[in-house]
Amino acid sequence: MNLEGLEMIAVLIVIVLFVKVLEQFGLIEAGFEDTVEDEMEMATVRHRPEALELLEAQSKFTKKELQILYRGFKNECPSGVVNEETFKEIYSQFFPQGDSTTYAHFLFNAFDTDHNGSVSFEDFVMGLSILLRGTVQEKLNWAFNLYDINKDGYITKEEMLDIMKAIYDMMGKCTYPVLKEDAPRQHVETFFQKMDKNKDGVVTIDEFIESCQKDENIMRSMQLFENVI
Amino acid sequence: MAAGVAAWLPFARAAAIGWMPVANCPMPLAPTEKNKRQDELIILNVSGRRFQTWRTTLERYPDTLLGSTEKEFFFNEDTKEYFFDRDPEVFRCILNFYRTGKLHYPRYECISAYDEELAFYGILPEIIGDCCYEEYKDRKRENAERLMDDNDSENNQEGSMPSLSFRQTMWRAFENPHTSTLALVFYYVTGFFIAVSVITNVVETVPCGTVPGNKELPCGERYAVAFFCLDTACVMIFTVEYLLRLFAAPSRYRFIRSVMSIIDVVAIMPYYIGLVMTNNEDVSGAFVTLRVFRVFRIFKFSRHSQGLRILGYTLKSCASELGFLLFSLTMAIIIFATVMFYAEKGSSASKFTSIPASFWYTIVTMTTLGYGDMVPKTIAGKIFGSICSLSGVLVIALPVPVIVSNFSRIYHQNQRADKRRAQKKARLARIRVAKTGSSNAYLHSKRNGLLNEALELTGSTEDEQHMAKGTSLIESQHHHLLHCLEKTTGLSYLVDDPLLSVRTSTIKNHEFIDEQLFEQNCMESSMQNYPSSRSPSLSSHHGLTTSCCSRRNKKTTHLPNSSVPATRLRSMQELSTIHIQCSEQPSLTTSRSSLNMKSDDGLRPNCKTAQITTAIISIPTPPALTPEGENRPPPSSPGHSTNISTTTTSNIVKVSAL
C-alpha cells in the first residue's frame, strides 16, 4: 500500500512539474495577473505664489521687501510650501538649547490660516505683514489667535498653560534660575489675573485687547520689531 | 545657525510678538542696523570666470575671506570687480557654500588642491556637509598615509628611529618582520620549521619499504628515532618562539586569548603530553588522537600569509550565510532521506536500512557525487532520487554566489562601518560644539551688550566699534531674539560648557552667574552625578554640577583645539578676557572684586573715558591641565583661566571668559 501511495505522489509531482514547465513556455495560461502598478510616484507638491503686484496690494510690504522675503523663503523650501516638519526644523535652528517643536506647532497653526497643513508664501507674507506692519490692534488679534489653540474665541487656562509650557520648553534645561515645575502654571495665573477682567476663567478677545492696551510694557514691546525687514 | 536659515530670522523675530503679552518684564531694545546698505550684486572674477552674487550672501560668514573686508585686497578698481587668481572649479563649490550653507566636496577633485583652496578662502574643512564628509575624510586619510609612508621610508633610510624598550622592539620584530634583519631571519626560520614539521607528519605515515616478515612499515616506525629528533627540534623552536612572544606582548592577557596563540599551544601540546604519557597502553589510543592535533601546525602559516588571515576573517564574517546554506541543506537532506527510505522500504535487499542511513545517499546525490554504493531500485525511489539530485544542484549552487558576493560586501561594509563609527563620535562632538558655540556666542554678546550700554553712557563711540567688531548684524539680531525669550520667561541661558560660564554678577538682572550663587543653585537642585570634571570654572567646588551640566565631560576639554566651525571659533577665542578699567557707573558692575573700586573715590576724576582693552588669549593647553583650586594665577599667564576674585590692581576688573 505504501508503495502505491508513494508512486501516485511521485507521478503527481512529475505532472505538476510538467505543467509548470509548460506555463513557462506560455502554452498554458494560469493564474490571474496583477497589472495594477502599485507604485505611483508621489506627486511632488509645487506651489507658485501669486503675482508680485497682487501680493504687494494685499500686504503692506514693498516690492523689494517681497523680493527679499521670497528669495529667503524659496531657498529654504524649494517646493514653495512649508509643511509642519520643515517649519519645526527651521524654527528649532534658532533655539538650539531647548525644544521648540511644541511652540513651532502652535506657530504653524497660527500661520496656516486656511488650515490645509502647509504654509504657502501667501500665508507667510500675510502673517508677516500683520506682525511687522500691522496696527497694534491687528497684532494683538494675531497674538490672541495664537494663544487660542482651538480657535473658539476664548483662551482657557489649559490652552494658556500649553502655550506657556511650549515657551518654557524652548529655553531648555540649562537655565538660571533652574526651571521649577510650576513656573509655567504660576505664569499662567499671573497672566489670567491681569487679563481676565470678569474672572470667568476664560479670556475673550475684547478683554485681551483691552488689558494689553492698558499695559505700557506690552504696548512698547509690540513696537519692537518694526524694522525687522 | 545655517546660512540659509538666516533668511528666516526676520520671521522668527516677528513671531516673537507672540511672547509679548505673556512677558512680565520689559523687552530689551532691538539692535539697530547702523549702515544698512541696499543689497547689491558683486562680481567675483576667478581666473576669468565671472560669478555674481548678492553682497549679503557673502556676508553670512564674516570669518572667511569673502565675507570679511579681506576681499577688498582683491578689488580691482578698473573693472570694479574682485579678481582671484585661483581655480574656478573649486570656487564653484565654495560659492555654493555661501549660498546654501553646505560645503560639498567634489569627488574628482584632488584632496590637497581642495584643501589649499579652502585654506585660502578661510573655510574650515570641518564644515563639509555630511553627504560628502565621509569621502573627504577617506581621501584625506589615504593622503596622510601616503605622506606617512613617504616619511617612513625617508626615516628608514636615514636610520633615525625613536628608541623603544627592548620588549617593544621585540614585539615589533615579531609583528612586522621587515623592521630588522634579525626579525626577518627569525621569520624565515620559523616558517622553515613549520614546513619541516608538517612534512614530517605527512611522511611519517608513508610506507617505507618492508621488514623481514613481509610487513609494510610506515616510515615513522622505521626511522622512529630520526623522526623523534626532528619533532623535538621543531617543538623546541615553537616553544621558544611562543615564550618569546608571550614575554614581548604588550598585553599578555590579550595575547593568551588571541587565536594565534591558541593555535600555537594546540600545536605543541601533543608533544609534551606524549612525553608525559609514554608507555601507557590504555591511553595510547588517545595518544594517537593527539597526534592529529599536530596538523594544526599548518595554521601557524597564517602568521606568514596575509591571504590566510583575510580568508579566515571573511569566513568569520560570513558565518550567517554559511549557516543558512547549512540549514537549507539539512532541511533538504532530511526531507529526501525520509522519502527515499519509505520509497525503498519495500524492495528487497535494500541498502536504505534507516533514515540516517539514507542521509548518506541523499548527500552524495545532492552534491552530485554519486558514488553508487547506494542506489534506489523501485520506480518511486528512482523518481524521487532524480528529483533529489536536481534539487541538490539548485540548493547548493544558489547560495554560493550569494555568499561570494556577501564576502566582498560584508568585508567592505565592515571597514566602512568602522570608519563611520569613528567619525560619528567626531561628528556628534562637532554638532554639540556648534550648538554650545551659538549659545556661547549669545552670552558673549550679552556681556558685550551690557558693556556697550555702559560705554554708551560714558559717551565714547570708538570703543563701541571695537566691541561690535566680532558680531554681525544677523548675529546681533539672533541674540536679541534669545534675549527677548529670556525676558519673557524670566529665566536665562546657562551655557552647557565650563569654559564659557561667566563669573561676574550684575545686580541689575541676575542673569550672569555668580559663582557662589551658581553653586548654591546647583546644590539646591542637586541632581545625580559627580563627574570627575576638571573644569577650572568650578575649581574650588570639585565639579559639583546639575544634571544638564554634567554632560560637560572630557569632550569639552578639547574645545579650543577641536574642529569648530569658523563662525564660532573666532567668537570664542576673541575677547576671552576683557579688562575693564573703571566705569563711571559702579552700580552696573558690582562684582566682588569691584568692591575695592567702589570705595576709591579718588579714581573718579581719572576715569573720564572708560577704556576697554581686549586681550585675545589663545588657548594653548586644554583647561583640564590647570590645577584645581588655583586661585591666584599671575595675571599675565595665558591660558590659565581660573578664578580671579581678588586682583592686585584695584581699578582693573577682570572678566574672564574661561
Give the DSSP letter of residue B128. Answer: B
Nearest CA in chain B to A180: B525
Q: Are A103 and A169 in contact (CB under 8 A)?
A: yes
pLDDT for residue A110 is more than 50: yes
Q: How far is B396 from chain A (nearest CA, A)?
A: 20
Q: How much is the average pLDDT of A111-134?
A: 84
- Judged against a pLDDT cut of 50, whether residue B560 lies above it is answered with no
Q: Is the predicted pLDDT of residue B526 greater than 60, yes or no? A: no
Of chain A, the percentage scoring pLDDT greater than 70 comes to 89
pLDDT tens digit sequence for B314-336: 777 778 778 888 888 899 999 99
Average pLDDT of chain B?
70
CA count, 13 A, side-chain hemisphere, A84: 15
Q: What percent of chain A has pLDDT over 90?
A: 0
Higher pLDDT, B580 or A28: A28
At B596-607, the pLDDT tens digits run: 444 444 444 444
DSSP H helical segments within chain A, as ranges? Answer: 2-24, 52-58, 63-76, 84-92, 101-111, 121-133, 136-147, 157-171, 183-195, 205-214, 216-222
Q: Do A10 and B496 touch (CB under 8 A)?
A: no
Q: What is the pLDDT of residue B43?
A: 92
End-to-end CA distance of chain A: 95
The one-letter amino acid at A195:
M
Whole-number average pLDDT of chain A: 80
Chain B interface, best mutation among A17, A133, A178, by max B CB count within 10 A? A178
Per residue in B463-503, pLDDT tens? 444 444 455 777 788 888 888 888 888 877 765 444 444 43
Q: How far apart are the first and last CA of chain B?
A: 23
3-class state of residue B53 by DSSP:
strand
- Mean pLDDT computed over B306-313: 72
Nearest to B11 among A128, A147, A224 (CB): A128
Higher pLDDT, B245 or A52: B245
Q: What is the pLDDT of residue B420?
A: 67
Asked if A79 reaches chain B (Cβ–Cβ under 8 Å), the answer is no
Provide mean pLDDT across the span B206-220: 73
Partners of B440 on chain A (C-beta within 8 Å) are none
Which residues of chain A make contact with B7, given a CB cutoff of 8 A?
71-73, 75-76
Q: Which three cell numbers stand for residue A67?
A: 523680493
| Spatial separation of the C-alpha atoms in residues B501 and B530, rounded to whole Å | 18
Question: Which of A3, A143, A225 faces B378 most closely, judged by CB atoms?
Answer: A3
By C-alpha distance, the chain B residue nearest A164 is B22
In this complex, do B17 and A171 lie within 8 Å of one another by their Cβ atoms? no
Q: Average of pLDDT values for B156-179?
A: 72
Please give the grid coordinates belonging to residue A174.
540649562
Q: Note the pLDDT of residue B421.
A: 65
Distance, in Å, from the CA atom of B3 to the CA atom of A76, rounded to the nearest integer, reads 10
Q: What is the C-alpha separation between B288 and A145, in angstroms, rounded?
A: 92
Query: Residues B57-61: contacts with CB within 8 Å, 24+ apart?
Result: B57/B3, B57/B98, B57/B99, B58/B98, B59/B472, B60/B3, B60/B6, B60/B98, B60/B101, B60/B474, B61/B3, B61/B97, B61/B98, B61/B123, B61/B566, B61/B567
Could you write out the DSSP letters of every residue in B141-208? HHHHHHHHHHHHHHHHHHT------HHHHHHHHHH-TTS-HHHHHHHHHHHHHHHHHHHHHHHHTSEE
Q: How many other C-beta atoms lie within 10 A of the C-beta of residue A53?
A: 10
Q: How far is CA A32 from CA A24, A35, B266, in A?
A: 15, 9, 63
CB contact under 8 A, A164 and B22: yes
Interchain pair A93, B521: CB under 8 A: no
CA atoms within 13 A on the CB side of B14: 26
- What is the tens place of the pLDDT at every residue in A12-68? 888 888 888 888 887 766 655 544 444 444 555 667 777 888 888 888 888 888 888
Q: Which residue has the higher pLDDT, B24 or A31?
A: B24
Around Cβ A182, how many Cβ atoms within 10 Å? Answer: 10
pLDDT of B359 over the 90 cut = yes
Q: Is A140 on the interface with B (CB under 8 A)?
A: yes
Nearest beta carbon to residue B4 from set A76, A96, A224:
A76
pLDDT of residue B365: 94
CA–CA min distance A61, chain B (Å): 13
Amino acid at A49: P
Q: Round to whole Å and give the CA distance between B531 and B552.
A: 8
Q: What pLDDT does residue B37 have? A: 58
ipTM of the complex: 0.72
pLDDT in tens, A200-219: 888 888 888 888 888 888 88
What value does the CA radius of gyration of chain B take, rounded to a whole number of Å?
Answer: 39
pLDDT score, position B95: 92
| Contacts for B281 with CB less than 8 Å, ≥ 6 apart | none
How do residues B91-119 score in pLDDT, each as one tens digit?
Answer: 999 999 998 888 999 889 899 999 999 99
Cell numbers that stand for B1 in this block: 545657525
Looking at residue B532, its pLDDT comes to 37
Mean pLDDT, residues B244-259 taken together: 88
Q: Which residues of A touch B1 (CB under 8 A)?
A: 93-94
Please name the residue of chain A whose CA is at the shortest distance from the CA of residue B379.
A7
pTM above 0.90, yes or no: no
Q: Which of A68-82, B79-93, B444-458, B630-644 has the highest mean pLDDT?
A: B79-93
